[in-house]
Amino acid sequence: MKHNVVRTVLATLLGAVAVFDIGYSILVLTSVISITPVEFQGTFFSDATVPMLLLAIVVGGSTLLAAATVFIRHEWSVFLAAAAGVIMIAWEVAEIAMFQQFAWLQPIFMSIGLAIIALAAYLWTTEFRAQHLPTRHVSHA
């Protein structure tokens, strides 16, 4: 698989997740989409404000930053992409644990998070890791 194809797929996945998470948070915060207060009973939150801000800032922001760095080929891009994948998975696990619900989108986002981590690891091992290894000079005596 070419590095450019992997980089494009990785940036696209990260960008799509960022747009979805930030857009969904904005729609909930502006009351275009309503979340019933019953969903927050027994949690730390009384309404959707804090979780939606966290979703937009932490998950959406990290994936957007990672997408931008992957797109411009920054040195830290694969690390940021893997971290964004871990954050996505952690968010979904925390959501399942806190709200005691399993929505149909959660396995999709967990799978995307795992794919992002796998693609970042692939890029690290094939593209970046190979560049930083010193060449070995063998002297013939």
Domain ranges of the chain: 3-128
For 88-109, what is the mean pLDDT?
Answer: 80
Return the HEC string of the chain: CCHHHHHHHHHHHHHHHHHHHHHHHHHHHCCCCCCCHHHHCCCCCCCCHHHHHHHHHHHHHHHHHHHHHHHCCCCCHHHHHHHHHHHHHHHHHHHHHHHCCCCCHHHHHHHHHHHHHHHHHHHHHHHHHHHHCCCCCCCCC
pLDDT, one tens digit per residue, over 15-47 is 999 999 999 889 888 888 777 666 666 677 777
Q: How confident is the model at residue 101 (pLDDT cuts 50, 70, 90)?
A: low
